[in-house]
Structure 1
């Protein structure tokens, strides 16, 4: 039996040295096709039960199941390998079989046993909890275990990037994705990485690649994903002027600022949200905002937080806090903190966002990892029509709220009019 394949996938088809195999690439690169072919070859070689998973079960019929069926017919094996649709399966003459499940029906995962090979197709659509649940389902008394994950790249805040590449918040790096784009295939520990592009698929018409190239003009985000096959920031950044500098450099600038240009803001949180305190300094002439100190913790009672922020009682710095928590503010005031509630009104989220955007530069100390994580790549949410929502973001950025509150009694010059920006500015 002979089968023509794309050269970039030849080694991948027969490499079973690592437990995890992570394939990422652009549109039309043929990664899904070669994953399916690889599984077919393996299941002919060894009697196994393979599990193919997508987030939504009903999408299997027209995607993964039909792909297996297509390859089996192309190999001339449809008289030996059966592809029933009720239930969706692929059955081999040696007793091997492929079953299909969706994470939208997790109860049905509990009934499966002796799974030695799992393929997560479009794994970025599956939740991280689902990935960990599937790891627990990957078990067999004798056979070596494998998990194959394939996806188009998405945002760097997706779990696939954090788990297999970099998690900036937790300062964990497994592999620099730029190294993968350069080397194309690489092994790190027990994970085999594979990167592919439409150019690697020799069976694609040139017109398809031309269509991908056209995306560069009208949708740069999609071009990065579809044509270049790269992770990155999906959407429009809220603070494109945000930069990070070494702490010593930032403090050189901060120490020369007038006391009246130093601000502190605090956002309250407990279970899923965070207590975030930010110290800032403003260069009023240059319209630069410096962020040089942060406090960021959750699951802290008010008395414990007050203990950890005790230095503010000595410095008597004014803390502008979330006025939606008057009881908490009162507690801190009773414990000798100089704290006030920031002004809130209908539309204040939007006006506060516009205020921060008016700074020409926002310079953050590298000693503030949570601020960097939340603000550096903060993007706008979009509505159903794809239009940005100017006061909603991809994450709940507690440090951004703290910045809003800290700047409560300061207005940035409106560059359009040259005067002081008011709450009704049309930015």
Structure 2
């Protein structure tokens, strides 16, 4: 199978060849044909398997084949949960569409909206956006979605995790009912499938890989360690291994800052990236990391879906995620596009339950090692981390007291949505 045999146009084939790709990945082989036929598609694929190109290439083909008006209305909308993912998708759109007469733009919060509005007013065919900034600019009258022909919901499971259901519903109501819908994600829970079938019409379901499995080429390993020795161990592994590019995940923003500071004190160049950082700081940290100026990037799960770092060799879970599916996305930052990668998890006694959940989800028994001098505490409790659990369920600090006391799941979602709209710069 070749890209040409999929029915893509010469300008697209030229752009693909320029990037050095020769053979389509399984998700691209399965998803591109039905999209080109104009069908709705529900696609599940592991992160790092070419999912973005799986919808970007056929989308560009369809738009380039149809006549364009002198004034370019937004004809395709790609909705993503995070700024980093929006920027990554936009970069792919630009690269693959290099030899096509199509215009595109990306919008997200945390930065000045004026350049984004100016780009839209010049007329664009494709808009990549996060929900908050999209709804904000639409409410200001800066953009219209009334001419959208193709709608892509990327990383839909993450959308729900972040409480964007209401925003998605609002966006749906702003577009014409007659359109092509595509939903791509690495995982699909029952809630996601329920959402999918409320959006998609007679969809073709594409499963390139089993749900919630990790890329096979990634070498996974667990180090059992005492909780208070984690920082020393991770510094030892990075220093003695002479690792030059390491992505480290923590559970909290405070934890990311604290670990980053300790690494710098140990002589390891490091930066932190999380929701409390400005977009400028996040962009600079990621750029320095890709360039090799910074050896270690310490991140929270906000970065798990949106970071595209070619040939990233090492991912370390300094703390295991509360949500098992997030483990798949974290380690999926390595082993991308067929490259090898290593994923290491530092697991203390109180994370035992999280590890068991991850192994059940992935169907794997991850090899365990113990480093001399960093042995786990045999007397430590294996009860799940209370602080992390409470944090994941805690209401936003500026929610009213009655909302915090409510046990209603939908009520909690409403509070999160109101809080996000007050703080759009965090998207």
* TM-score (ref. length: structure 1): 0.38
TM-score by length of 2: 0.38
Question: Which one has the largest radius of gyration?
Answer: 1
Greater share of strand = 1
Q: Write 1 or 2 for the structure with the bigger share of helix.
A: 2
- The structure showing larger relative contact order (alpha-carbon pairs under 8 Å, at least 6 residues apart) is 2
